[in-house]
């Protein structure tokens, strides 16, 4: 087993925190993500579909 | 005026100025908006990108999401070096400053309580992966001698896979218990999809731990010590993060 420490933060780790964590503000004057879980599901679907057809398009951004 | 206010975090007032080169989402420099006893860290973003409809479309665009998330994190990171920020969720946007002030007034007590709880603490992320199965199983040579032989081999292979899973889960459980005892609080995130993470192996634990900054070194050592405990298992540590996963109420 190895313990890995990275310098570059992976996008998934960021999204775990920025889309599932952080204080959620609701109110009339706020515009916010309507349903983050839905966004997450769409995102996963998007990724699996792109992943299936194109070999590895994410290396630059992840 | 078509700008909206993007809010990154709420903090107690702090003395040190932000880095002058710091840019936020969309490239605008973040500013401090003081109200009552709190400071909101805000920047101006174009309404064309952040109105509800545009935002919905953008959030399905991985490149946009990636750039935006990294810009948000950049500001939070800079804040973490000068204070303990209370990070808000990605893409929290208000029409104008007065909207931000109204929000601060409405949530003031919550903010102060959570800021007290988080003061001087950071978040560490720990993930456990079951490494991909070794490519060449020491398979018995040759074709199965009979139907019965074939079925026996299949059973053995299924059994081995199940055992690896159980070992990884037991390892993850015991690591989580150990780290939870050390940390002040912990949260379990959903295991990450390997298509999204592009990480080899299956993610069996994806946890966050709230640790006083002063004890972080020991926490990292604690994770490090598990190094040689289990073959076929990989542990990954991320952080220190602002306490994104601990902005709600403490778990009793």
Among B68-72, B88-92, B181-185, B212-216, name the one with the lowest average pLDDT: B88-92
Q: Do A31 and B50 count as a contact with CB atoms less than 8 A apart?
A: yes
Residue A6 pLDDT more than 60? no
Residue A40 pLDDT more than 80? no
Cα-only R_g, chain A: 15
Residue B118 pLDDT more than 60? yes
Q: How far is CA B81 from CA B35, B75, B113, B121, B235, in A?
A: 22, 10, 21, 12, 27
Which residues of chain B does CATH 3.30.70 include?
Answer: 121-246
Closest CA to B65 of A48, A36, A49: A36
Asked whether A40 and A19 are in contact (CB, 8 A), the reply is: yes
Alpha carbons B117 and B73: distance in angstroms, whole number: 21
**B121-246 is classed CATH 3.30.70:** yes
Partners of residue B91 in chain A, C-beta under 8 Å = 32-33
pLDDT at res. B149: 86
Alpha carbons B143 and B182: distance in angstroms, whole number: 53
| Residue B158 banded pLDDT, cuts 50, 70, 90 | confident
* Phi and psi angles of residue B99, each rounded to the nearest 5 degrees, phi first: -65, -40
Residue A34 pLDDT more than 70? no
Tokens standing for residue B238: 């991320």
Mean pLDDT highest for which of A27-36, A53-62, B150-159? B150-159
Among A48-52, B209-213, B233-237, name the one with the lowest average pLDDT: A48-52
Q: Which of B97, B238, B242, B243 to mutate to probe the A interface, most A CBs <10 Å?
A: B238
Among A50-59, B121-130, B131-140, name the one with the lowest average pLDDT: A50-59
CB-based contact, B4 to chain A, within 8 Å: yes
In the stretch 73-132 of chain B, residues with CB closer than 8 A to chain A read: 73, 86-96, 98-99, 102-103, 106-107, 111, 114, 123, 125
Asked whether B216 and B125 are in contact (CB, 8 A), the reply is: no
Nearest CA in chain A to B64: A61
Nearest CB neighbour to A32, from listed B87, B93, B235: B93
| Residue B2 banded pLDDT, cuts 50, 70, 90 | low
Q: What is the pLDDT of residues B25-38, one digit of tens each?
A: 999 999 999 999 99
Partners of residue B226 in chain A, C-beta under 8 Å = 1, 3
Q: What is the pLDDT of residues B176-220, one digit of tens each?
A: 999 999 999 999 998 887 777 778 889 999 999 999 999 999 999
Asked whether B33 and B97 are in contact (CB, 8 A), the reply is: yes
Percent of chain B predicted with pLDDT > 70:
94
pTM for this predicted structure:
0.82
Asked whether B43 and B26 are in contact (CB, 8 A), the reply is: yes
| Residue A61 banded pLDDT, cuts 50, 70, 90 | very low
| Residue B141 banded pLDDT, cuts 50, 70, 90 | low
Closest CA to B205 of B162, B235, B238, B160: B235
Partners of residue B102 in chain A, C-beta under 8 Å = 27, 29
Asked whether B209 and B219 are in contact (CB, 8 A), the reply is: yes
CB contacts < 8 A (A, B): 173
Asked whether B237 and B223 are in contact (CB, 8 A), the reply is: yes
Alpha carbons B6 and B46: distance in angstroms, whole number: 10
Average pLDDT over residues A27-43: 52
Percent of chain B predicted with pLDDT > 90:
59
Tokens standing for residue B106: 């409405």
């Amino acid at each position: 087993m190895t313990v890995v420490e990275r310098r570059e933060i992976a996008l998934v780790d960021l999204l775990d925190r920025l889309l599932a964590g952080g204080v959620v503000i609701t109110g009339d004057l706020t515009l916010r993500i309507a349903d983050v879980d839905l966004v997450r599901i769409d995102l996963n679907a998007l990724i699996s579909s792109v992943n299936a057809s194109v070999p590895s398009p994410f290396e630059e951004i992840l | 005026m078509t700008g909206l206010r993007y809010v990154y975090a709420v903090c107690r007032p702090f003395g040190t100025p932000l880095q002058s080169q710091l840019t936020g989402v969309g490239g605008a420099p973040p500013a401090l908006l003081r109200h009552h006893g709190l400071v909101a860290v805000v920047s101006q973003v174009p309404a064309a990108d952040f109105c509800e409809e545009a935002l919905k479309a953008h959030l399905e665009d991985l490149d946009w999401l990636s750039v935006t998330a990294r810009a948000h994190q950049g500001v939070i990171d800079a804040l973490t070096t000068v204070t303990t920020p209370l990070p808000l969720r990605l893409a929290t946007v208000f029409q104008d400053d007065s909207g931000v002030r109204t929000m601060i007034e409405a949530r003031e007590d919550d903010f102060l309580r959570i800021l007290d709880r988080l003061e001087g603490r950071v978040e560490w992320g720990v993930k456990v992966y079951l490494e991909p199965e070794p490519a060449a199983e020491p398979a018995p040579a040759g074709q199965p001698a009979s139907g019965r032989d074939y079925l026996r081999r299949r059973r053995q292979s299924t059994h081995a896979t199940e055992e690896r899973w159980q070992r990884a889960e037991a390892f993850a459980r015991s690591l989580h218990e150990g780290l939870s005892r050390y940390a002040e609080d912990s949260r379990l995130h959903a295991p990450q999809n390997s298509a999204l993470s592009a990480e080899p192996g299956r993610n069996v634990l994806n946890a966050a731990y709230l640790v006083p900054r002063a004890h972080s070194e020991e926490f990292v050592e604690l994770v490090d010590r598990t190094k040689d405990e289990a073959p076929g298992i990989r542990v990954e540590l991320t952080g220190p993060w602002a306490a994104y996963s601990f902005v709600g109420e403490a778990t009793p």
